[in-house]
Structure 1
Amino acid sequence: MNGDAGFAWHVVIPVKPPARGKSRLEAPGVDRAALADAIARDTVDAVARASRVAEVVVVTAASGWPEGLADSTPPPARARPSAPIRIVRESEPAGLNAAIRRGLATIDRVLPRAVLLGDLPALRPADLDAALALAGAARLGLVADAEGTGSTLITARAGTALVPAFGADSAAAHRAAGHVDLGVAQESTLRRDVDTVEQLRAAAALGLGSRTATLLG
């Protein structure tokens, strides 16, 4: 377990099969399924390299996980070993919140838990660490996306129930359920999720993960 036990977060990431992922993301000359897969894998790699993460739980019906999960960053460039990645299989995709609940059910409630969406290709581990440090002081925490309406991260301290409400206007839904905004900077890479080409361009300006960057050339 990494770091102080109070900050050793278990993070659930739902990942759709690439053929079903990112239906609104049509980058010219780039296969959408391959792009969705690259974005998800870059996100998982970044989360695993955050120092406050004890375990990453990927919930997916996609084939090819965990094969090929290792990041291409040379080991000397890494500050610490990556957290373990555990795969929870879905026989068929059952929806975003159902997948998240499936992953959360495999984690003891006495542990601090978080849910992060798998569409943050510019995510820097340090930005996630900063948010999780703030989450240690909140019973239920929230990071809204760059537009302010969606949620990219929700958290629950040890012993607190975590109920996902992702979908349209999820930030408002999570606030209504008791989540408080964690005060993450607006320019944080943790806020830049990607569903459209315009959002992908904004993420690229922050610096994309290696798989997504390579795919986009």
Structure 2
Amino acid sequence: MCPHTVHAVIAVKTLESAKSRLAGVLAPPQRSRLVLAMLTDTVRAARAVPAIASITVVTPDPVVARATRALGAVVHPEPRNATADPDGLNAALSAAAAALRARHGAVGLLALQADLPALRTAELSAVLAAAPMDTPALVADHVGTGTAALLAPAGVGLRPRFGPDSARHHYEDGALPLHGDWPGLRHDVDTPGDLAAIQELGAGEDTAALLDELGWPHQVRAAVTQVC
């Protein structure tokens, strides 16, 4: 099957507010650097997919905007009704999707998580080749309850329902599950265990370099233990 041509959208909060669940093992500046490194690796892997025509990053953060523009992404301003809660994420993705279709017509869309540092270009290419031509589809995360990627074919609305139990909400909204051996795509990062898992899978260049610089996991965990 020939892969769809799609335009990808990614939403990113401010660096300071991201990844609070890693607060026990990483200090705020380290978490900010990690978020940016993971996003950079995600965008770089997606940019190499021939069937992805463009990547749009929705963010209020100027550092994120500069970094993703340098990788060839388009930056879309976060809409005023987008806040730090899951509905804000969905509003941001919907705004970017609407802007893309206003500019390019009824194109296919891919909503992608921003924290997929082990993502492989071949995985995304395989997903696009497997996606149905006329129905929304999704790839669930490694837990099975979240959504790593949401696809809307040309002419079909992108209806993001990211947040707790998002896979179920997307299924109920008519999205079909896509099944394949795509561990890097499925593994987003929220917890220390997730960091260990993406290291085992093989993190992208920026994330791997940062974790190595930080001495993750041994030096970081030792420092946290001493503080506590």
Could you tell me the TM-score, scaled by structure 2's length?
0.81
The one of 9, 12, 36 equivalent to 1:12 is 9
State the 1:91 CA deviation: 6.7
Deviations 1:155-203 (A, max 9, x none): 0111001110001100000000000011122x52110111111011111
2:75 aligned residue? 87
Deviations 1:51-73 (A, max 9, x none): 221000100011124434488xx
Contact 1:142 1:153 in 2 (8 A): yes
- SS of the aligned residue for 1:96 comes to helix
2:58 aligned residue? 59
- SS of the aligned residue for 1:64 comes to helix
2:90 aligned residue? 97
Contact 2:36 2:64 in 1 (8 A): no
- SS of the aligned residue for 1:105 comes to helix
Contact 2:10 2:57 in 1 (8 A): yes
Unpaired stretches in structure 1, ≥5 consecutive residues: 72-81
State the 1:115 CA deviation: 0.2
Tell me how far apart the structure 1 counterparts of residues 129 and 168 of structure 2 sit (CA, whole Å): 22
Contact 2:57 2:68 in 1 (8 A): no
2:130 aligned residue? 134
- SS of the aligned residue for 2:11 comes to strand
Rate the CA distance shift 1:190–1:42 in 2: closer, same or farther, 3 A.
same
Q: Tell me if 1:107 matches 2:106.
A: no
Contact 1:138 1:180 in 2 (8 A): no
Tell me how far apart the structure 2 counterparts of residues 141 and 99 of structure 1 sit (CA, whole Å): 20
Unpaired stretches in structure 2, ≥5 consecutive residues: 213-228
Contact 2:68 2:74 in 1 (8 A): no
Tell me how far apart the structure 2 counterparts of residues 90 and 104 of structure 1 sit (CA, whole Å): 12
Tell me how far apart the structure 1 counterparts of residues 204 and 98 of structure 2 sit (CA, whole Å): 29
What's the Cα RMSD here?
2.1
User: Counting helix residues as a fraction of each chain, which structure ranks higher?
Assistant: 2
| Seq. identity, % | 37
Larger deviation, residues 18-27 vs 88-97: 88-97
Deviations 1:106-136 (A, max 9, x none): 1115101110010101101110111111114
Could you tell me the TM-score, scaled by structure 1's length?
0.85
State the 1:46 CA deviation: 1.2
Superposition pairs for residues 53-202 of structure 1, below 5 Å? 53-69=52-68, 84-90=72-78, 94=83, 95-108=88-101, 110-137=106-133, 139-185=135-181, 187-202=182-197
Amino acid at match of 1:133: A
